[in-house]
Amino acid sequence: MSKRKRAAPDGEAPGRGGSVPGHLGQAPFVATPHQRQAVAALVSVGHANKVISEVLRIPERTLIRHFAHELKHGRTLIHAQIGGSIVAAALNGDKTMQIFYAKAQMGWRDRHSVGFDDEKGNPINPANLFTVQIT
């Protein structure tokens, strides 16, 4: 009876279907930094675990077991990276990022009215400002 290595079933990542010579079962799964970043990014845009496991070509159970931190905190991790990139670009002189940051974080806004406003920002008819009454 010859021992034949079974082929990885469809949907499994290459190299994950066979066993290590001299050991029982398959080799332990080791997540790469690239996979961790991908999981965090996919979580941040709202993908379900099933979709993420299909993209990585790993079973959903493996995803949950080995990427628990990314599944729980992925959105926060990606937001922090993007926010850091925006701040770094603004501090390096990128005028667009400086304007974006000022509007998003400092409450700055564009003026949409041109003309005369009262103390509350409501428009005033300029004709009323220059009316002179002669008595």
**pLDDT-wise least confident of 10-19, 26-35, 53-62, 71-80:** 10-19
* pLDDT 10s digits, 78-128: 999 999 999 999 999 999 999 999 999 998 988 766 667 777 878 777 777
| Model-wide pTM > 0.85 | no
pLDDT of residue 44: 96
Determine how many CB atoms are found less than 10 A away from the CB of residue 36: 16
Residues 6+ away with beta carbon under 8 Å from 78: 40, 41, 43, 44
The domain spans of the chain are 33-129
How many helices (H) and strands (E) the chain has is answered by: 6, 0
* pLDDT 10s digits, 3-32: 555 555 555 555 455 555 566 778 899 999
Residue 61, CB-side half-sphere exposure with 13 Å CA sphere: 1
What burial letters (b/e) apply to 65-80, b meaning 16+ CB within 10 Å?
ebbeebbeebbebbee
Residue 19 bridge partners (DSSP): 26
pLDDT of residue 53 exceeding 80, the answer is yes
C-alpha–C-alpha distance, residues 74 and 128, integer Å: 57
Q: How confident is the model at residue 132 (pLDDT cuts 50, 70, 90)?
A: confident
pLDDT of residue 114: 65
